[in-house]
Amino acid sequence: MNTKFTKQLAIKSIIFIGAIALFSLFPKKTQTASSNSLAQIPPFDNFPPKFLKPRKPQIQPSPATTPTPNPPEQPLIFAPPAQFIRQIVYKASISNSKVIALTFDDGPSPETLKILEVLQKHNAVATFFCLGRNLREYPEIAKKVVQAGNAIGNHTWHHYYHDVTEKTASNEIDYTGIHIHRSTGAKSLLFRPPGGRLNNGFADYAKKKNYVVVMWSIDPKDYQQLPADTIAHTVISQATSGAIVLMHDGGGPRQQTVEAVSAIIPKLKQQGYSFVTVPQLLQLQAEEKQQNGDLKPK
């Protein structure tokens, strides 16, 4: 009996010890599993933002109507009617109106501003034949000439009198034309040869470049610094419709010319004359010729 009891007791002890050992393993495994599971989920650095209501869709404004583009501005060109291209003109042939063209050579210069004041005071316009070297020095004055409604023309760069090669003529005339455009924004096909010389190469080249060579019909010789009343008397006494008057706004002080112009304009206006630019003068001749041609019996 004792032996049997002892065996049973030993078996129960072994079972009890095994059970204790078995139960001791469960917490360790559970803890390991829990640790591994937590390691796979990264912690939140920041809490997720609160949920907001969706924004109402914003209605975009309708695009503005595309404005109609303005037509490109036509470049200002001082040019005669086609029949005068490559021609030499001393005066215009006009009989149905009394018009006259004052012209001034050798500017622009500070004296030009004095001439402009007189012209504006009497609501008159003129044509200024400019030297390229003066255009480079006084571009703003040239710009004022055109802005006041006057015409501008080419008088070469240096005002040479002597014979020149075609290359020199090209440089003198073309570079002056460039500076006319730079200073005023205008182009000109009006040319006056220095000293009125037609056989030294300048006029020939100008005609090849489609200029009209503008001479004159009245020369009061103001470049000789004659008294103002002498200058004025010459112009007024020789005035005819279509006449082109030569005077100067450069080459030195021109106070006598300024005073003469102040007397010429009101006196000739009293006689019924209007003052126009050279292109306007030639246009009037072209229109009159066309009208007379239309009136002729067929």
**Does a cis peptide bond (omega within 30 degrees of 0) precede residue 108?**
yes
Burial level of 127, CB count in 10 A (0-12/13-18/19+)?
A: buried
249-265 in b/e burial notation, b at 16+ Cβ within 10 A?
bbbeebebbbbbbbbbb
Provide the CA 126 distance to its chain's centre, in angstroms.
Answer: 23
CA torsion sign for 189, 194, 199, 201 is: negative
Give me the catalytic one of 163, 248, 249, 294: 248
Q: What is the DSSP string of 88-102?
A: EES-----SS-EEEE
CA torsion sign for 199, 202, 203, 207 is: positive
Helices (H), the chain: 2-39, 110-121, 132-137, 139-147, 166-184, 202-208, 228-238, 255-270, 278-295
The token pair at 159 is 């005002």
Residue 248 a catalytic site member: yes
Place of tokens 């390991």: 32
Give me the catalytic one of 105, 106, 222, 249: 105
Active site (catalytic) residues: 105, 248
